[in-house]
Chain A
Amino acid sequence: MRIEALNEESCIVYLGETIDEAVSARVTRAVAAIREELGELLVDLVPSYTSILVCYDLTRIDRFGIRTRLRRALERGEAAGGAGFEPRTVELPVYYGPEVALDLADICEHAGLSPEEVVRIHSETDYRVYAIGFSPGFAYLGNTDRRIAMSRKSTPRLKVPSGSLGIADTQTAIYPSSTPGGWQVIGRTPLAMVDWSSASLARVQVGDRVRFRPISREEYRELGGRFDEL
């Protein structure tokens, strides 16, 4: 564990080097411990795969104080071993049909598998939310099964419809809003990923577990799914 100063009001905590479940679990536990221990000293916390950016209120604490308090929080968090933190499992309905799975044919060809097999593999995997960023609520999930992993498109789409699920190598992401993007689109969820009026805003948080439930075209429509934005 390393705490490094960045500027007069932020520092970064590194909890590992590689993208893996164990490091991500440490990040999740550390975020909970830091929030609890530092509370109002914090302006922003930005967890990612292996690190946590900590932006603090310089009118309340300085560069020495924050280091001491962070170290204490992290030690307590590790000692507690994540007690009191229960990762949630979020189930998301996904329609994998041809109207919305824009790149499913390419993935099948790349993987040498049928659409049914690709969908089965994608929806049987248990995912973890490693990071949120790029755009509001854009969630990076891992790990996509290697059998269906495929690199990003060489030319990104100018517009990926909101709700789209994309694959890039061993990651899966959900596009909460329509943005440009190069991920291989495999399906779409009818649910809004970000709700500006709710307190938690986004449907998933870093550290959550996500499972995709394949749904029919009818159910996709019933849940408010759309076929536009192409």
Chain B
Amino acid sequence: MSFEVINPGMLTLIQDRGRHGYQHQGITTGGPMDSHAFHWANQLLGNAAGAAQLEITFGMLELRAEASTTIALTGADLGAELNGEALAPWCTHAVRPGDRLRFQSPRSGLRAYLAVHGGFEVKPVLGSCATVSREQLGGLDGQGAKLRQGDRLPYRALETPLDARVPGWAVPDYQKPLRLGVMLGYQQAHFPRTALMTFFSETYEVTQNIDRMGYRLAGSPVHCDLDGIVSEGIAYGAIQVPKDGNPIVLMRDRQTIGGYPKLGCLSTLGAGALAQRGPGCRVSFYPMDVGEAEAERLLFNRSLGL
């Protein structure tokens, strides 16, 4: 049984935890841009932690169900409707054969996650079905294609509906001004102190240049003493600063190595929160200790049984 794709929307991708263990071959990880929303969606359905879901960027997706099941919606509110009735995010919804699921455009946030009970059944490539279009890996066809009209998303039918919702304390408000912790690292010593003070005291704007590789920000430039560095591995959430001084946060589909100076990293959860912000949103930063990020992440893992 499957969902038939009536309209694939702007950018809808199959994502699981990501393709780990191949970065030394130059293969990026992919995986959910917002780990918080992704993991909660699987949790609501009692799915395996990394079960494959749809990451719906911006909306416009339309699906038709062939069999009964329960889905979970988390992340952005993209104006989802089931047969014309509004669906609330951050909870489960029962779906019957013939039902039409339609997403409009962002009300709050940028990326929604749609999980189905048991996960979408997609054949993995190199251990993962995470779609990385640039590398032609993952997705329904195994070759990195985004969702297309007429695609069928296979799942196993479930007759008895499930009913679960994410507790209020775990539902983020994407409209709130975003303040993100930054762990200084990499070439931070080559950024003049005044540059780092600027970075931590000014507000930056999310530009139009945002994708699964990176988020380009604009604001008071942060200049580094170095033009380039010997290419090195780029951690998820690393903040790289090219010559123009505008920071770029490197996301899930980033290149594995690179030669621009970096001032530090966001946490996984911090980078995920940024991924829900679109062009024009404002972001500011504060210095964060690795221990703090570790504690935050372990608490998150514990509440989700990861």
Q: CA separation between A201 and B22, bound complex, in Å?
A: 9
Which of A8-16, A88-96, A152-160, A211-219 faces chain B? Answer: A8-16
Closest residue of chain B to A200 (Cβ to Cβ) is B25
Q: Is the CB of A206 within 8 A of B135?
A: no
Q: CA separation between A31 and B23, bound complex, in Å?
A: 13
B183 within 8 A of A: yes
Q: CA separation between A48 and B25, bound complex, in Å?
A: 11
Interface residues of B (CB under 8 A from A): 20-27, 29, 125-126, 134-135, 137, 183, 185-186, 230-238, 255-258, 264-268, 290-291, 293-294, 296-298, 301, 306
Closest beta carbon of chain A to B296's beta carbon, Å: 8
Chain A to chain B contacts (Cβ below 8 Å), 30 pairs = A6-B186, A7-B236, A7-B290, A8-B293, A9-B297, A12-B186, A12-B235, A44-B20, A46-B23, A46-B256, A47-B24, A47-B233, A48-B233, A49-B230, A50-B230, A52-B233, A53-B23, A55-B20, A63-B290, A133-B255, A133-B257, A134-B257, A135-B26, A136-B27, A136-B135, A201-B22, A201-B27, A201-B126, A202-B25, A206-B24
Q: CA separation between A12 and B257, bound complex, in Å?
A: 12
* Beyond A50-B230, A51-B233, A63-B291, 9 additional pairs, beta carbon < 8 A: A7-B183, A44-B20, A44-B23, A48-B233, A55-B23, A134-B26, A134-B257, A137-B26, A201-B22
Q: Which of A14-36 touch B at CB < 8 Å?
A: 17-19, 31
Given contacts A58-B301, A133-B256, contact A8 B268 (CB under 8 A): yes
Q: Is the CB of B185 within 8 A of A6?
A: yes
Interface residues of A (CB under 8 A from B): 4-10, 12, 17-19, 31, 43-53, 55, 58-59, 62-63, 131-138, 140, 194, 196, 201-202, 205-206
Q: Is the CB of B230 within 8 A of A48?
A: yes
Q: CA separation between A174 and B213, bound complex, in Å?
A: 23
- B residues within 8 A CB of A55? 20, 23, 235
Given contacts A63-B290, A206-B24, contact A7 B186 (CB under 8 A): no
Q: Is the CB of B26 within 8 A of A10?
A: no
Most buried by B among A31, A48, A196: A48
Closest beta carbon of chain B to A29's beta carbon, Å: 15
Given contacts A44-B29, A58-B298, contact A6 B24 (CB under 8 A): no
- B residues within 8 A CB of A133? 26, 231, 255-258
Closest beta carbon of chain B to A227's beta carbon, Å: 23
- A residues within 8 A CB of B231? 48-49, 131, 133, 140
Q: Is the CB of B24 within 8 A of A46?
A: yes
Q: Is the CB of A7 within 8 A of B268?
A: yes
Q: CA separation between A55 and B19, bound complex, in Å?
A: 13
Give the top 9 A-B pairs by smallest Cβ distance, nearest first: A53-B233, A46-B233, A133-B257, A8-B293, A7-B265, A8-B294, A10-B235, A44-B23, A51-B232
Q: CA separation between A50 and B290, bound complex, in Å?
A: 23
Q: Is the CB of A6 within 8 A of B265?
A: yes
